[in-house]
Structure 1
């Protein structure tokens, strides 16, 4: 059985039409069954056979107004500041909705606007503060003394989906005022003066102690950050089953730094089965049904996070996965309320209609949307100073829109059609590649100059390697090559369409000019000649610098205007910088031009309190059309008259302009992607946000930077060798003067034309699963449970339970799936993976190869850059002989890859350590 086949055709090749049809048929069958089940439930509900959640006898209505009054009475502080703060309007609305759905088991959708980074941890904590503080007071006599105590408060047991560690970040920036919060909890503790105890007593007993905090830590020093507890630590959290992190317990931060932990307690408040206040965390990709059934007592509400980052975690079919979560919740815990959080009008509408909406009985029954609320808040934080007052809306009286369609948009439409066809035919990887191609075309078309001009500018302003990395996001050759491969499904679907050829031709035209080039030139001319000031907002400072450099050649006076600040070019922050000027200075700016924004950026900019009198938006027709549609919807929901006028004005102008250039809004069904301009100078190998970490920043002489963990292996060129060779060295051991091979954006894009990572992953994962199944079956025990116990004992890792290991050996379904649908059942970190394979008596060399190709490279190819493919290519560069020995038919490609790596070597300028 072959173990190493890293260089094969893309996933899905070699599969006949029957396999594709089987996949499509299974998906349609499952969708039909779900639809039938939903319709049956709605008919039964309409007939009165299925009572709604409020009928659950154990659920008592909550006094929402008392909740909000208690929350308003609780002082807060922003981290490091003594100024008293209050909850922002956005979070007030979210907490109110959370209390309402927890009270009656209903569903609601909330959209804060402008978009803010929502913290589910903060929602659960604020709802808990409101519940605890709203409990009624009464006088009780005990041992001759009269005390003011509080009755038992409502419970707050919430579920957040999809969960990520970043959901706690904002809640860790807020302090809860210890005096009020501690006093309220101590009044709850007094309820137990005559004896007794439960999880609620443990909760209040712990939090009642925060009254005694002074800021003094265990080392005897005073710190302002330990004078109050942070919002994230007043509600424990964990998954419904399995191990939990050390920072998931009650007062996890404060008790580790002060003497609070020295006082005795029952610890029942941290027990997920007993706690009255708890946050259950469910990650994307986990077994939802198993996790929900592990929650013994029905939770009060589900926080369904549908913001952009959460949707990215769920994947391109996030609507289907969110609907699955809601359906499963209704089956397991039917009385639980659902609160969905959206961050753009299209997601808001989709959540109300498609995910949480209901349909009236009958064949043509009307779709009834779930209740929704849009709330405006000028600050994205959880709390704001009490003294702050809303700013009035000024400016934005005249709004214009300019756009383009032409061959570029026709090509994008064709690629979108190809992506949808591949998705319908069961090739999600091909569909994702097509969507990436569509994004690249749109991104490049929106440049304020041609690709050739951008290349010359970057080579002049930065090193060749840095320029190559920055330009890699505008290259489409790898995606087109993957889709056009004769063995791929995309090439068969596009056999008569010519979509890929059209995309290739469009990208070639961008070497001479882009549609945005002439559009921007026509707008810059009047700004240069005007006696008033103008500001031009681009996607990034880099694009703004390129635009200023290029336009200075066609407009001789532009450079002088920029120098005198009559015209300002900048990224997204430049408009805020102008708005923060004194009133007399900012009012000199009469015009703002927003160049190639996303549809969300357009609406966010229009929602700013101050704008110049004239606003011009330059974008492609797709972006204008969808932004116009979203602006109308937002205007109908926002409830702020001056802002609604702005939004409707823009919608009217944008729709008119789209129609003038031959594009009609009514033809659109799905929104376009918001295409960002990545910063190619940073190669992040740190693995994303995971709390405090010791990291290393390696700055290179070509102005690139590598951020990695101290133990991350970095590829270096070995100057001491007689021939060119590459070696590995931990990031902590890299020093100035070393020559690093930068496996960044440009490297990966060029390597993809030589080595097909997804083909390697798809075939290696099948070999890996077969070997694991074989070795696990060979363990000399009579039952699967006994085998699992033996396996876990061999690993010697206390964090690994038999239930966790069961997922790694549950491979029956994966072995039967088509190759392109297989996903790795394996530990997610390398150390645990190596222990697991060692326990199965798999050699270290073979295990390392499986980790590189079967696990790392199999992850979503959206993560093209950073540590995902860094590990995969590292093995080819540092161990070429073993690679070529196992891939004799690909030796030429491996040599080309190693030769190409020479072009991506840079000298280390400086190295510094820091905490991430």
Structure 2
């Protein structure tokens, strides 16, 4: 009998088994369909989520805006004469109204460059909006009177913001009669008892009709007869505290009796106000600030002028693009008005920051609309009787330049800078570009470095000459880049750009290319029967050129004394143009020596020029200036100026090709030549204090300091060389001061290597912060952060913001040259942060100087910070050596070098900032 095997056939292979499997699958599918149907029915039965309320954008009548603005009288501060808005600001307001109306983007460039005030734009736009409101009949106490409909709102934001944004707007007064009457017409709508923020605004502004100029002290002042432009629109940051001078009529209210009248204050509330300016700083968290603005602003004023770009830092394009991206995500209906002040930035804003890329891999970029408007004055308003500018002169334009070894060397360093930027070393790239500027600056001198040194020593003193020559030294930059541990030394191993720069600077001790270039044009000025003017980058360089050329051309000195030939800095041409027509027309030739590309275009944009214009510059500057002049000529709306710019562009391009240097096609702007004057050492720290001390030295230098600033003095009573500290208020005549100025710092950098020292301090700082933060007795990182922020006691610091300061894992592991400080960027917050971690004040101050400030671009002079750093080395050498055993020899050399920078105090006097 065969034994039964249970698995002689595969299980589940019978016909009935397959039928059961099919039925189970159908049941499962039916159950799934049933659950889906129930879910759909539940969703349909539930109430629909509330739709997001989107305020309908009101279309603004731009024509009426401009009519209202033209009809509003203004005054320069303290003057009785009536003024009107300049054409440049009129274009800015027109563009602002357009983008606020349709949510679009525009780029505006006033030319020649002027210092644009974003606060003034918001104020003028508010005046235009209020004055353009339609008239209506309003019932007041049983009778009908002329009133106005509610005006368009003006809620603006400005980025990047700084206090200087308000400076120009505070120099303009809004006529109280006209503006007060318009606001009183608006106020009539509310006389029956309704309340809102607009009523509070118009109620306050209607009161300005009663101003008489009488201040609280009982005296009459013209500057208080009308409100200033800056106080008619309140402003505040989206998050954090606001300043006391940010409300309506903040200045007038504090100086007159207008504050005695009661008001609701709604017009100063950013959540309620119809007219408001949000201020967003460059170092703030952009997304958090924008989300804090609940009601979308009408316009963002994106400041891309030179001052604002410096405020944003080397990555200003990235930060501007971040602002635009965040704004489009959070407030998509807000219009954007970008303001540029040079052709390259103007084009970058239109294409790279605000441009729209078409779909597809090869889609072209559609640039944002742009306008270039001629600005005949740098002011916001001008006298009413002023007419349009008339362009004279500049008929004949000649151009000459040089390239040679200097040009090839600069190109090699530029390649190094670009490589460092591409490989993620922005600090190294900045140092390389500083090196380019120094080489170009030196090559553009009207004499050799040795001759300049002898001239300065004969005209000033050894210490002052050394300070002035600091801007022509490259040893510190080359030492930073050539450090074997730096990325630059590895990138430059094959190219040898640093060796080229070093050899170039040695050759400039004998002669510079500009020397012979300038000598070639001097004879024509000596032979001419007409007058000539030579424009240099500074008065110092002009004096040096006159002194040097007088040896080879004795007749030149006689012509300069008789003012037949004038040598001077940038202002000399303006001084000539302000002469009476009969006198200025005697000048037939102007020679512009070593200008920057912007200086060339600015000079060509002046209404009056001599008939013959000669430009002498290096080939790079000429090439970039020619490109910018051609673009500017296409955009500018002044035909005669456009013709002058095209003439220069053609001459410059042709001359560059003749030199053997083809026209530059890429879009990186050339480094401008700069000749700074280092005779003043500012140790005040820029903290806005008005009462300072000026210490005049017998070598011609001057120290500006606060009364409690510690000054380094040489102690004659000691047996050996010794330095001591003394408060500036205790310094007296005859004391010997060690002048820690630009020259001292440049030489000290080559010895101590500030950037390397800073990187080491950053690593020590990060390790200490990580250790102290870990010791906070809380169970989690979030709890530790809350405890830390609570201990700091600063309402503007949130746990999210403080998280960046303690997120140090990656930085501790990075190579030393890549480390960047994770720390607060203002000193007060930094000291509170370190204090909350129980880091001593002395140690925290040292970290602030070296780990934070010194790591910033070392060409930005924080005089008081480096003064304090080197002051410790000089006055407390034993502690300095004990803490820096590896740098003992360098510290001793530094102390010996300080002997060369001692000067005798001539006079100590009070000094007030203007």
TM-score greater than 0.5 by the shorter chain: yes
Deviation at 1:416, TM superposition (A): 0.3
Q: 1:509-534: per-residue Cα shift (whole Å, max 9, x none)?
A: 10011000000000011101111111
CA distance in 1, matches of 2:213, 2:661: 62
Residue number in structure 2 paired with 1:277: 275
1:656 aligns with 2:650: no
1:332 aligns with 2:330: yes
User: Do 1:776 and 1:809's aligned partners in 2 also have CA atoms closer than 8 Å?
Assistant: no
Q: 1:263-292: per-residue Cα shift (whole Å, max 9, x none)?
A: 222222222222221111222222111111
SS of structure 2 residue aligned to 1:847: helix
CA distance in 1, matches of 2:258, 2:717: 57
Alpha carbons of structure 1 residues 521 and 443: separation in structure 2 relative to 1, 3 Å: same
Residue number in structure 1 paired with 2:212: 214
Larger of the two Rg values belongs to structure: 2
CA distance in 2, matches of 1:790, 1:261: 42
1:888 aligns with 2:882: no
User: Do 2:372 and 2:636's aligned partners in 1 also have CA atoms closer than 8 Å?
Assistant: yes
Deviation at 1:257, TM superposition (A): 1.6
Residue number in structure 2 paired with 1:118: 116
CA distance in 2, matches of 1:553, 1:767: 57
CA distance in 2, matches of 1:70, 1:789: 52
Residue number in structure 1 paired with 2:38: none
CA distance in 2, matches of 1:738, 1:237: 48
Alpha carbons of structure 1 residues 491 and 789: separation in structure 2 relative to 1, 3 Å: closer
Alpha carbons of structure 1 residues 186 and 782: separation in structure 2 relative to 1, 3 Å: farther
CA distance in 2, matches of 1:164, 1:102: 23
Alpha carbons of structure 1 residues 208 and 739: separation in structure 2 relative to 1, 3 Å: farther
Question: What RMSD in Å do the two structures reach over aligned CA positions?
Answer: 2.0
1:694 aligns with 2:691: yes
CA distance in 1, matches of 2:665, 2:830: 49
Which of residues 439, 446, 449 in structure 2 aligns to 1:448?
A: 446
Alpha carbons of structure 1 residues 821 and 290: separation in structure 2 relative to 1, 3 Å: farther
CA distance in 1, matches of 2:246, 2:771: 38
User: Do 1:856 and 1:872's aligned partners in 2 also have CA atoms closer than 8 Å?
Assistant: no
User: Do 1:393 and 1:642's aligned partners in 2 also have CA atoms closer than 8 Å?
Assistant: yes
Residue number in structure 2 paired with 1:364: 362
CA distance in 2, matches of 1:368, 1:848: 50
CA distance in 1, matches of 2:254, 2:645: 50
User: Do 2:789 and 2:802's aligned partners in 1 also have CA atoms closer than 8 Å?
Assistant: no
Q: 1:799-836: per-residue Cα shift (whole Å, max 9, x none)?
A: x2163575345335444233545544545554554444
- State how 1:93-108 maps to structure 2 within 5 Å: 93-108=91-106
Residue number in structure 2 paired with 1:858: 855
SS of structure 2 residue aligned to 1:275: coil
1:816 aligns with 2:815: no
Q: 1:784-808: per-residue Cα shift (whole Å, max 9, x none)?
A: 777666556655x6xx216357534
SS of structure 1 residue aligned to 2:752: coil
Alpha carbons of structure 1 residues 897 and 595: separation in structure 2 relative to 1, 3 Å: same
Residue number in structure 2 paired with 1:202: 200
1:529 aligns with 2:527: yes
Deviation at 1:730, TM superposition (A): 3.2
- State how 1:698-709 maps to structure 2 within 5 Å: 698-709=695-706
Alpha carbons of structure 1 residues 789 and 178: separation in structure 2 relative to 1, 3 Å: farther
Residue number in structure 1 paired with 2:756: 759
Residue number in structure 2 paired with 1:739: 736
Which region of structure 1 is more displaced relative to structure 2, 646-655 or 187-196?
187-196
CA distance in 2, matches of 1:158, 1:692: 30
Deviation at 1:193, TM superposition (A): 0.9
Residue number in structure 1 paired with 2:68: 70
Alpha carbons of structure 1 residues 588 and 870: separation in structure 2 relative to 1, 3 Å: same
- State how 1:301-340 maps to structure 2 within 5 Å: 301-340=299-338
SS of structure 1 residue aligned to 2:520: helix
Deviation at 1:645, TM superposition (A): 1.1
User: Do 2:536 and 2:594's aligned partners in 1 also have CA atoms closer than 8 Å?
Assistant: yes
Which region of structure 1 is more displaced relative to structure 2, 395-404 or 257-266?
257-266
Residue number in structure 1 paired with 2:515: 517
User: Do 2:736 and 2:902's aligned partners in 1 also have CA atoms closer than 8 Å?
Assistant: yes
Residue number in structure 2 paired with 1:135: 133
Alpha carbons of structure 1 residues 841 and 632: separation in structure 2 relative to 1, 3 Å: same
Alpha carbons of structure 1 residues 805 and 666: separation in structure 2 relative to 1, 3 Å: same
CA distance in 2, matches of 1:181, 1:785: 53
User: Do 1:748 and 1:865's aligned partners in 2 also have CA atoms closer than 8 Å?
Assistant: no
CA distance in 2, matches of 1:731, 1:829: 24
SS of structure 2 residue aligned to 1:59: coil
Deviation at 1:760, TM superposition (A): 2.5
Q: 1:548-593: per-residue Cα shift (whole Å, max 9, x none)?
A: 0000011111000111111111111111111111111111111000
Residue number in structure 2 paired with 1:569: 567
Which region of structure 1 is more displaced relative to structure 2, 462-471 or 841-850?
841-850
Residue number in structure 1 paired with 2:10: none
Residue number in structure 2 paired with 1:541: 539
Q: 1:153-194: per-residue Cα shift (whole Å, max 9, x none)?
A: 111111111112211111111111111112222222222111
User: Do 2:449 and 2:511's aligned partners in 1 also have CA atoms closer than 8 Å?
Assistant: yes
CA distance in 1, matches of 2:894, 2:174: 55
Deviation at 1:683, TM superposition (A): 1.5
User: Do 1:120 and 1:168's aligned partners in 2 also have CA atoms closer than 8 Å?
Assistant: yes
CA distance in 2, matches of 1:356, 1:199: 34
Which of residues 258, 261, 264 in structure 2 aligns to 1:260?
A: 258
Deviation at 1:131, TM superposition (A): 1.1
Q: 1:379-417: per-residue Cα shift (whole Å, max 9, x none)?
A: 111000001112311111100001000000000000000
Which ranges in structure 1 are unaligned for 5 or more consecutive residues?
Answer: 1-54
Deviation at 1:782, TM superposition (A): 6.3
Residue number in structure 2 paired with 1:403: 401
User: Do 1:683 and 1:865's aligned partners in 2 also have CA atoms closer than 8 Å?
Assistant: no
Which of residues 598, 601, 612 in structure 1 aligns to 2:599?
A: 601
CA distance in 1, matches of 2:778, 2:494: 57
Could you state the TM-score of these two structures normalised by the residue count of structure 1?
0.90
Deviation at 1:769, TM superposition (A): 3.5
CA distance in 2, matches of 1:338, 1:72: 24
Alpha carbons of structure 1 residues 786 and 273: separation in structure 2 relative to 1, 3 Å: farther
Alpha carbons of structure 1 residues 839 and 409: separation in structure 2 relative to 1, 3 Å: same
SS of structure 2 residue aligned to 1:351: helix
Deviation at 1:659, TM superposition (A): 0.3
CA distance in 1, matches of 2:773, 2:263: 43
- State how 1:770-789 maps to structure 2 within 5 Å: 770-780=767-777
Residue number in structure 2 paired with 1:43: none
Residue number in structure 2 paired with 1:679: 677
Which of residues 463, 466, 470 in structure 2 aligns to 1:465?
A: 463
SS of structure 2 residue aligned to 1:77: strand
Which region of structure 1 is more displaced relative to structure 2, 704-713 or 470-479?
704-713
Alpha carbons of structure 1 residues 535 and 296: separation in structure 2 relative to 1, 3 Å: same
Alpha carbons of structure 1 residues 326 and 806: separation in structure 2 relative to 1, 3 Å: closer
Q: 1:838-891: per-residue Cα shift (whole Å, max 9, x none)?
A: 333222332232222223323332314522422322222222222211111211
Alpha carbons of structure 1 residues 904 and 216: separation in structure 2 relative to 1, 3 Å: same
User: Do 1:533 and 1:566's aligned partners in 2 also have CA atoms closer than 8 Å?
Assistant: yes
Deviation at 1:681, TM superposition (A): 0.6
CA distance in 2, matches of 1:82, 1:193: 34
The higher relative CO (CA closer than 8 Å, separation ≥ 6) is in: 1
Which region of structure 1 is more displaced relative to structure 2, 427-436 or 712-721?
712-721
Residue number in structure 2 paired with 1:3: none
Could you state the TM-score of these two structures normalised by the residue count of structure 2?
0.91
Which ranges in structure 2 are unaligned for 5 or more consecutive residues?
Answer: 1-52
Alpha carbons of structure 1 residues 399 and 177: separation in structure 2 relative to 1, 3 Å: same
CA distance in 2, matches of 1:729, 1:752: 25
CA distance in 2, matches of 1:596, 1:898: 38
Alpha carbons of structure 1 residues 814 and 421: separation in structure 2 relative to 1, 3 Å: same
SS of structure 2 residue aligned to 1:675: coil
Q: 1:63-95: per-residue Cα shift (whole Å, max 9, x none)?
A: 111111111111111112111110100000000
Deviation at 1:665, TM superposition (A): 0.9
